[in-house]
């Protein structure tokens, strides 16, 4: 079941790897299917050699419906996020280095560039440390999410999400670019310029001209 969607999630993980957001078998990818069940990458398997049938299909409470692999060790946190964020259909968990670096020196990545407003939908919060691989990480994401498409997990990584794989992947990639730029600005030691709420609101407005018709 869901052959196409399984391959899309593997492709998503490979793209995360290609963009330097994960290494080895780190991170995970999961997706809520229209029926409500959750498709998830397995625990500790390299994405380059992963087959579609290695992904695990479970119900919203974590009962395995299809698959012989163990799901990601973060499955309890991921199921909690899906349960409490009904508009989220895809979650990417990464250990992207610039976002982790930022989490050690700041409480948020401010919406200080047009790309962050366009691709992340605003400032990205840093959630305090929680132990990995348990539900607490999911509770922390739900508690600290602020309408942007990601939460940075202090000392750990990122949960980026969206309505589909493209939106979630875009959020994770542009978040890393944004963290890189913000850290570079901080490293100068000079004050970092902010955008006003009005400027952020103006940039957020739909302008109807981007991409191809
Ligand atoms: Zn992790």
Q: pLDDT value at position 194?
A: 95
How many domains does the structure of the chain reveal?
1
Dist. CA 27–CA 41, nearest whole Å: 9
Q: Indicate the DSSP class of residue 35.
A: T
Report how far ligand 1's centroid is from the alpha carbon of 131 (Å): 9
In-domain check, residue 200: yes
Report how far ligand 1's centroid is from the alpha carbon of 44 (Å): 11
Residue 94, strand partner residues: 158
Report how far ligand 1's centroid is from the alpha carbon of 155 (Å): 10
Q: What is the dihedral of CA 33, 90, 40, 178, to 10 degrees?
A: 170
Report how far ligand 1's centroid is from the alpha carbon of 151 (Å): 13
Q: pLDDT value at position 213?
A: 78
Dist. CA 93–CA 157, nearest whole Å: 7
Q: pLDDT value at position 109?
A: 98
In-domain check, residue 209: no
Report how far ligand 1's centroid is from the alpha carbon of 20 (Å): 14
Q: In which domain, by residue range, is 104 found?
A: 3-204
Report how far ligand 1's centroid is from the alpha carbon of 108 (Å): 19
Q: Which residues surround ligand 1, an ion (CB under 5 A)?
A: 157
pLDDT in tens, the chain (213 residues): 899 999 999 999 999 999 999 999 999 999 999 999 999 999 999 999 999 999 999 999 999 999 999 999 999 999 999 999 999 999 999 999 999 999 999 999 999 999 999 999 999 999 999 999 899 999 999 999 999 999 999 999 999 999 999 999 999 999 999 999 999 999 999 999 999 999 999 999 987 677 787
Residue 160, strand partner residues: 92, 150
Contacts 24+ apart (CB under 8 A), 190-196: 192/110, 192/112, 193/112, 194/110, 194/112, 195/110, 195/111, 195/112, 195/117
Report how far ligand 1's centroid is from the alpha carbon of 77 (Å): 11
Report how far ligand 1's centroid is from the alpha carbon of 94 (Å): 6
In-domain check, residue 210: no
Report the CATH number that the domain containing residue 15 is assigned in CATH: 3.40.225.10
Query: Model pTM?
Result: 0.95
- The SS3 of residue 203 is helix
């Amino acid at each position: 079941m869901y052959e196409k969607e399984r391959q899309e999630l593997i492709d998503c993980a490979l793209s995360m790897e290609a963009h330097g957001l994960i290494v080895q078998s780190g991170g995970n990818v999961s997706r809520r299917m229209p029926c409500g069940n959750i498709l998830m990458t397995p625990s500790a398997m390299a994405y380059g050699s992963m087959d579609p049938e290695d992904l695990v299909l479970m119900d919203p409470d974590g009962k395995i419906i299809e698959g012989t692999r163990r799901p990601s060790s973060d499955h309890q946190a991921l199921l909690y996020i899906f349960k409490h964020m009904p508009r989220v259909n895809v979650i990417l968990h990464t250990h992207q280095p610039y976002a982790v670096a930022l989490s050690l020196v700041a409480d948020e990545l401010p919406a200080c560039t047009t790309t962050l407003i366009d691709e992340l939908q605003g400032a990205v919060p840093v959630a305090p440390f929680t132990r990995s691989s348990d539900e607490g990480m999911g509770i922390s994401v739900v508690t600290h999410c602020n309408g942007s498409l990601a939460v940075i997990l202090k000392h750990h990584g990122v949960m980026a999400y969206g309505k589909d794989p493209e939106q979630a992947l875009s959020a994770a990639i542009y978040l890393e670019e944004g963290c890189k730029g913000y850290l570079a600005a901080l490293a100068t030691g000079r004050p970092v310029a902010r955008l006003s709420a009005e400027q952020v609101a103006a940039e957020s407005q739909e302008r109807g001209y981007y991409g191809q018709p």
